[in-house]
Amino acid sequence: LTLMFLSPFPTLPATPNHLRFHQQALMELKILEALRKKDKDNTYNVVHMKDFFYFRNHFCITFELLGSAAFSS
């Protein structure tokens, strides 16, 4: 996956452009939103979703930037 920098947060294309993957992404979006609402004071050590959007018919999700170590293998 290639990081996209269209927003101030790192963004990953979440799904290929297929209906079944899109439906799965919407379910994941609901889960990520629930996690964000439950952890408003950032005490549970989970990565928070910041936003989502469509880019060239791909569903993309932006997350908080954790630092360079999160992207190295």
**Cα(19)–Cα(25) distance, integer angstroms:** 10
Amino acid symbol at 58? H
pTM of the model: 0.63
Say what the pLDDT of residue 24 is: 86
**Cα(12)–Cα(26) distance, integer angstroms:** 15
Region 10-21 average pLDDT:
65
Please write the tens of the pLDDT for every residue from 35-63. Answer: 989 998 888 888 888 888 887 777 888 88
